[in-house]
């Protein structure tokens, strides 16, 4: 049972425009959410996180939005750069928990 879902396997965006990556979850116990970025042949790299007590967290070009009622989070990248081209995974965990539950990833291509 996939508790974290990324329904868009791929996304293409022009350089300089906004990239929006979406993630949905089913487990209402999840209260901490993260985005990871993965290049081929490398492990996932932590990008940004958000706690359920917030609805927005911003770090430079990256902003994560959390809509708890809809069990939905999104990652906004603006402006998008070619170096942002990678696979993005969202992950979720429950307070006091340990394992992260990952989505299946969205492959972002930023076109120069």
CB of 16 to another protein, least distance (A): 29
In terms of CB distance, is 13 or 23 closer to another protein? 23
> Any contact of residue 21 with another protein (CB under 8 A)?
no
- Choose the stretch contacting another protein; rule: CB under 8 A; options: 10-18, 60-68, 71-79, 100-108: 100-108
CB of 60 to another protein, least distance (A): 17
CB of 14 to another protein, least distance (A): 26
Q: Which of residues 27-66 bind another protein (CB under 8 A)?
A: 32, 34, 36, 41-46, 49, 51
Q: Which own/partner contact pairs does 61-67 have at CB distance under 8 Å and 24+ positions apart?
A: 62/35, 64/33, 64/35, 66/33
* Residues lying near another protein in the complex (CB under 8 A): 4, 32, 34, 36, 41-46, 49, 51, 89, 91, 93, 95, 98-105
């Amino acid at each position: 049972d996939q508790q974290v879902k990324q329904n868009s396997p791929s996304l293409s965006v022009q350089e300089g425009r906004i990239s929006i990556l979406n993630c949905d979850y089913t487990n209402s116990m999840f209260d901490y959410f993260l985005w990871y970025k993965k290049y081929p042949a490398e492990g996932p790299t932590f990008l940004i996180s958000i706690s359920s007590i917030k609805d927005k967290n911003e770090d430079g070009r990256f902003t994560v939005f959390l809509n708890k009622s809809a069990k939905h989070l999104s990652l906004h990248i603006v402006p998008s750069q070619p170096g942002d081209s990678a696979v993005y995974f969202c992950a979720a965990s429950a307070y006091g928990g340990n394992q992260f539950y990952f989505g299946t990833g969205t492959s972002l291509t930023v076109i120069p």
